[in-house]
Structure 1
Amino acid sequence: MRILVLGGTVFLSAEIARQAVAAGHHVTCLARGTSADPPDGVTWLRGDRSLGAAAFADVTGGWDEVVDVTRDPVQAGVALEVLGPAAAHWTFVSSCSVYADHSVPGADESAALLEPLPEGQAGTPDTYGESKSAIERMTRDAVGEKAHIVRSGLIGGPGDGTDRYGYWPARFAANSDPVLVPDVPDASTQIIDVGDLAAWILQSAEQGLTGTYNALGEVVRFEDYLQESQRAAGASADVTVRAPEEWLVQHGVGYWSGQDSLPLWLPAGHEGFQARSNRAATARGMTLRPWQETLAATLEDEKQRGLDRDRKAGLRSETEQGLVALRRREQR
């Protein structure tokens, strides 16, 4: 197959390109290359999609598969206009953030979506879900039955730049100091390994699968994930200090991501955010490795990148130490 990956230098898009080359496909990546180079074995076309149609000046011929992971509706629209007519199959990697309601565990692809951004409006971090919703609509309008729309949840594994899934195993591995934990043992986590997601996207392209699917891992209790993180890190004893959700909010701890947050912890009303149905995708060939393997590989990646590095998600050491001391004083 002749495969064009719009991107191909970072995390998921790079893994798709890497697996496609290994499978013997002819792979081209259109990317600026400011973050990293594409994997070995691909044809690299340097292009900046912020330039509009000019970015595709060197992209010629038809494609058996085009993969786009963008969050920018303007860039997506240009790519669809320029490349859509000559593409036999088009994969857009969307997100489960497109859903309007995150409170219902087990919801499937029929759940209501956020209102798409108006045509021509560029996306922002605050309109991520609306942006992806807009691109889904644009993709269907432009390429119709050739579209494979993949609604991913949180992606884990080596190379994750969000620092979310790796926070907990890395934190237990960093030192034996007390670890502040939200007291939500029965909350859900739901991660898909980047390798599994890339493999299914490539398999779907090879088979010509179209339609819209939630591409998600299995649901795992937060407590089970936490205990496995401790085990993988070699923690000899439970060093956790549990805190109620209200207490954490009161003391300025953030949900999910960002500085001084506790990753994978979500506010009320998000009980289904990490507990959506993946049955449609698994029925169509998506296979998942044991989540413990993803966690172990993520921890090894965290060690290579540095357990004490500045992170995009998680508590800073000084913040955690202060909150642990306060929590323990209150419990005396």
Structure 2
Amino acid sequence: MDILILGGTQWLGRELAKEALRRGHAVTSLARGEAGAVAEGSTFVAADRSKPDAYDAVTDREWDAVIDVTRQPGFARRAAEDLAPHAAHWTFISSCNVYAAQNEPGADESAELMAPLAADESTAETYGEAKSAIESAYRDALGDRLLVIRPGLIVGPGDASGRGGYWVARAARSDEPMLVPDILDDAVQAIHVDDLVTFTIDAVERRLTGAFNAVGEPTTFGDWLERSRALAGHEGEVVAVSPAWLAEQGVAEWSGPESLPLWIIDPEWRAFLDRSNAAALAAGLRLRPLDQLLQEILDWERSEGLERERGAGLSAERERELLAALRGPSIE
């Protein structure tokens, strides 16, 4: 197949290109090229998708498949107009953030979507609305040629966000007491990047259409934590503390420096990591066991360095400060 990937220089786009190339497909990656290199063997087309002529270099031919991972509605609206007529099949990697409600455990693809973002540029705060807008633009342009894949939390080797790797890396870092939010029964759901990529390229080859939640099997934060500790060999104390106290101390939820990943404060988001994957499983999604997923993350985290600065998670110094503050001044 002749496959065009819009993007292809960042984590997910590059992994999609690598898998398509591994299967013998011809892959072209269209991107600015500033975020990283394209996969070896992929043809690189330099283009700024914000410009009116962004797709001029790839509209002189017909494509068996196009894959887009963008979060910018303007990029997609222009692609829908200029490039969609030249594609036999189109895949958009959307997100479970498109759903209007995030508090319904087990909700499936029929759940209501957020109102599409009217603007062409998105921000972190409008991510869900932006992905919804892109879905809408591509549905209008492509009809029954469109496949929409909605991942939740994507984890695995190469994840620069650090969200999926923090807990197993922290367990491996030292046997010192581990500070955790007291959310042991909260749902956690993640998909290994390789499982997502395999499902996507399988679907492209079959010209699958429709919308699918590409998410892992749900578990609990407590289970994720204990499996991480067992694999990493952590035998120290686990100190579970009130989310309210953590917030008072300025600990960030979910992601970013000095945060605690997989923790979401807002109860209206309690089911973000608990969506139905039944349709995707029926369509061929295959998921590796959680222990294997965590072991592969741990191996990669160790190769990158457990003491490095992370995209998400507490530094060892900050964790010690918080534990000391929690226990109060010592009395001698």
- Shorter-chain TM-score bucket reads over 0.9
What is the alpha-carbon distance in structure 1 between the residues aligned to residue 251 and residue 132 of structure 2?
30
Tell me the secondary structure at the aligned position of residue 186 of structure 1. Answer: coil
Matched position secondary structure for 1:49:
coil
Q: 1:228 to 1:78 in 2, by over 3 A?
A: same
Give distance in 2, aligned partners of 1:238 and 1:110.
44
The aligned counterpart of 1:230 is 229
Which residue is 2:278 aligned to?
279
Distance 1:173 1:265 in 2: 20
The residue type paired with residue 263 of structure 1 is P
Relative to structure 1, is the Cα distance of residues 139 and 330 closer, same or farther in structure 2, using a 3 angstrom cutoff?
farther
Match of 1:140 in 2: 139
Report what 1:209 is aligned to: 208
Instruction: Give 1:310-321 correspondences, 5 Å limit.
Output: 310-321=309-320
Q: Distance in 2 between matches of 1:182 and 1:331?
A: 23
Matching residue's letter, 1:291: L
What is the TM-score of this pair, normalised by structure 1? 0.95
In 1, distance between residues paired with 2:109 and 2:149?
10
Classify the secondary structure of the residue corresponding to 2:67.
strand
The aligned counterpart of 1:246 is: 244
Secondary structure, aligned partner of 2:269 = coil
**Structure 1 unaligned blocks of 5 or more:** none
Read off the aligned partner of 1:157 and give its amino acid letter.
Answer: G
Q: Which residue pairs with 1:185 in the alignment?
A: 184
Map 1:110-129 → 2, pairs under 5 A = 110-118=110-118, 120-129=119-128
Q: Give how far 1:35 is off.
A: 2.6
* Aligned residues of 1:11 and 1:194 also touching (Cα < 8 A): no
Aligned residues: 329
1:65 matched to 2:44? The reply is no
**TM superposition score normalised by structure 2:** 0.95
CA offset digits 1:56-112 (Å, max 9, x no partner) = 232131111100000000011112222100100100000001111111100111111
Distance 2:7 2:32 in 1: 8
Q: Give SS of 2:94's match.
A: strand
AA aligned to 2:213 is N
Q: CA deviation at 1:213?
A: 1.0
* Structure 1 contact 84–143 (Cα < 8 Å) conserved: yes
In 2, distance between residues paired with 1:64 and 1:28?
A: 12
Deviations 1:215-246 (A, max 9, x none): 101001111110111122222x1432110222
C-alpha RMSD over aligned residues:
1.6
Partner amino acid for 1:174? Answer: R
Question: Within 2, Cα distance between the matches of 1:14 and 1:293?
Answer: 22
What amino acid does structure 2 have at the position aligned with 1:91? T
Closer, same or farther: CA 288–331 of 1 in aligned 2, 3 Å: farther
Shift of 1:123: 0.8
Displacement, 1:53?
Answer: 3.4
SS in 2 for 1:212: strand
Residues 178 and 236, structure 2, Cα contact 8 Å, conserved in 1: no
Runs of 4+ in 1 over 4 A off after TM superposition: none
- Report what 1:297 is aligned to: 296
Q: 1:257 aligns with which of 255, 258, 268?
A: 255
Which residue number in structure 2 is paired with residue 99 of structure 1? 99
Offset of residue 330 of structure 1: 8.6
More divergent stretch after superposition (59-68 vs 172-181): 172-181
Q: Aligned partner of 1:136: which letter?
A: E
SS in structure 1 opposite 2:230? helix
Aligned 1:23-34 pairs, distance under 5 A: 23-34=23-34
Is contact 2:175–2:236 with CA below 8 Å preserved after alignment?
no
Identity over aligned residues, as a percent?
Answer: 47
In the TM superposition, residue 259 of structure 1 has moved relative to its aligned partner by: 2.2
For 1:306 and 1:287, locate their aligned partners in 2 and report how far apart those are by CA, in whole Å: 30
Runs of 5+ consecutive residues of structure 2 not aligned to the other structure = none
- How far apart in 2 are the matches of 1:157 and 1:331? 41
